[in-house]
């Protein structure tokens, strides 16, 4: 989501604190001030930790089976990932933020850049207004960083989040120069947006260890030794905007539907159901974006930790015409089934559609027209699913009600408070 930037101004980065955990707390006050972790698919490992959980020393990515034995002792609460709730909370936050700016770029599910203008005092007040409004109207806490460039806004946001003196809002120009340099000197370059471990090692080899070191580097030298991308980071640290507002992408390169199973699948019949479900999901996503695919790749894999029965089959199938039809996508995925070894424990499978193009961009000759697409089978399935819930209808084995055994395990799932009538929160008056 983005809108055009109407000229030079400041940039605000608004970021929801511990987003998944905050979304859970928005509708369950009993979770406030308690250590909370949100788990990955199949309740695997901690992907979000509340500040209280971090204070216990729980590392990011720690498997739940290691945490569970001590959960009662610590008072630790776990929740399964509730993607539908998080997506709706994110949409509410972004819609609210859009009221404060002429343009808004949604960077991720919990972050957005906004174009803002005014004096440092006015912008500081604007930051507090946004922070208060999101907390009051959506129920999640945010921090705000404001600066002349995106990179500096990211740094300002980091300081707003981790330094209580900023009270959740940091305007770069409102911080004295000496304090800015001190803060930058205390941050490793790996803390910068877009700088990973390998690049950090190369920078360290040149004597560039801190963010301040990189900010003082010669941009041309950095370009020659590394890349134009890193040169832009240096210029942004020096106050020159080089990373423009990203316009919303009309096209997409590929769509992938893949997930680990709660229980291994050992038969081709089981994987046939998996591919039917994924083909239906791919069809709905393609239709949503007005796209059709020309190539489908299907794959399956055993566990990395099971080398005795290793199997990683895949197949790439050119489709007869650009399509979003779930029937054709499912048939293409079924081409992998003869390569499946019965008895082998497959823990993951998926499909990927590529060579995407706008719907109707290439009309087929009448003899090659697809009757299913003409009848709108894919859009009909999606409409029924939206109205009656996922799993209410499907193609063949993908329509089995109640969910298959391999579907994602989410034993600690909270209600979908904002999107399902039967799960709306109930308020009881005293």
Q: pLDDT (tens digit, 9 = 90+) per residue, 223-270? A: 999 989 899 999 999 988 888 766 444 445 778 887 777 678 888 888
pLDDT band at 2 (very low <50, low <70, confident <90, very high): very low
Least confident range of 4-8, 267-271, 391-395, 422-426: 4-8
Up-side HSE of residue 95: CA atoms within 13 Å toward CB? 8
Run of H or E residues at 126 = helix 120-137
Structure tokens at 366: 């009448």
Kindly report the number of other CB atoms within 10 A of residue 70's CB atom.
Answer: 11
Q: pLDDT (tens digit, 9 = 90+) per residue, 307-329? A: 677 888 888 888 888 888 888 99
The backbone torsions φ and ψ at residue 311, rounded to the nearest 5 degrees and listed phi first, read -150, 125
Query: What would the mean pLDDT of 373-378 be, rounded to a whole number?
Result: 58
123 alpha carbon, distance to own chain's centre: 29
**In this structure, are residues 260 and 347 in contact, taking their beta carbons and an 8 Å threshold?**
yes
Structure tokens at 427: 């308020």
- This prediction's pTM: 0.70
Using the predicted structure, report yes or no on whether residue 108 has a pLDDT greater than 90: no
Kindly report the number of other CB atoms within 10 A of residue 308's CB atom.
Answer: 5
Largest CA distance in the chain: 73
Predicted confidence at residue 398, as pLDDT, reads: 53
């Amino acid at each position: 989501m983005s809108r055009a930037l109407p000229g030079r101004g400041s940039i605000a980065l608004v970021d929801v604190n511990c987003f998944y955990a905050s979304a859970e707390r928005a509708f369950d006050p009993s979770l406030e001030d308690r250590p909370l972790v949100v788990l990955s698919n199949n309740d695997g490992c901690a992907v979000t930790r509340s500040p209280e959980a971090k204070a216990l020393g729980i590392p990011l990515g720690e498997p739940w089976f290691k945490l569970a034995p001590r959960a009662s002792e610590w008072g630790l609460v776990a929740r399964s990932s509730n993607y539908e709730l998080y997506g709706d909370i994110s949409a509410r936050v972004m819609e609210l933020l859009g009221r404060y700016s002429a343009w808004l770029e949604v960077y991720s599910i919990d972050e957005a850049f906004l174009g803002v203008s005014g004096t440092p005092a006015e912008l500081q007040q604007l930051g507090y207004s946004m922070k208060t409004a999101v907390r009051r109207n959506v129920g999640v806490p945010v921090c705000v960083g404001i600066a002349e460039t995106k990179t500096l806004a990211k740094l300002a946001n980091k300081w707003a989040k981790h330094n209580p003196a900023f009270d959740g809002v940091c305007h770069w120009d409102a911080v004295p120069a000496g304090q800015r340099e001190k803060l930058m000197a205390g941050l490793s370059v790996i803390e910068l947006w877009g700088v990973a471990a390998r690049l950090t090692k190369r920078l360290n080899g040149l004597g560039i260890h801190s963010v301040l070191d990189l900010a003082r580097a010669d941009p041309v030298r950095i370009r020659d030794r590394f890349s134009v991308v890193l040169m832009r980071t240096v210029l942004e640290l020096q106050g020159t905007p080089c990373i423009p507002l990203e316009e919303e992408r009309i096209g997409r390169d590929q769509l992938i539907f893949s997930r680990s199973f709660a229980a291994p699948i050992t038969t081709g019949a089981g994987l046939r159901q998996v591919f039917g479900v994924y083909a239906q999901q791919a069809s709905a996503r393609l239709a949503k974006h007005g796209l059709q695919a020309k190539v489908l790749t299907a794959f399956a894999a055993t566990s990395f930790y099971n080398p005795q029965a290793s199997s990683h089959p895949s197949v790439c199938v050119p489709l007869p015409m650009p399509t979003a039809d779930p029937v054709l996508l499912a048939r293409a995925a079924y081409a992998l089934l003869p390569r499946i070894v019965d008895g082998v424990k497959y823990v993951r499978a998926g499909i990927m559609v590529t060579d995407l193009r706008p719907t109707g961009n290439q009309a087929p000759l009448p003899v090659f027209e697809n009757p299913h697409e003409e009848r709108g089978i894919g859009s009909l399935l999606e409409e029924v699913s939206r109205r009656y819930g996922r799993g209410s209808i499907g193609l063949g084995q993908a329509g089995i009600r109640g969910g298959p055994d391999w579907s994602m395990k989410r034993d600690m799932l909270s209600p979908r408070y904002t999107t399902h009538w039967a799960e709306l929160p109930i308020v009881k008056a005293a």
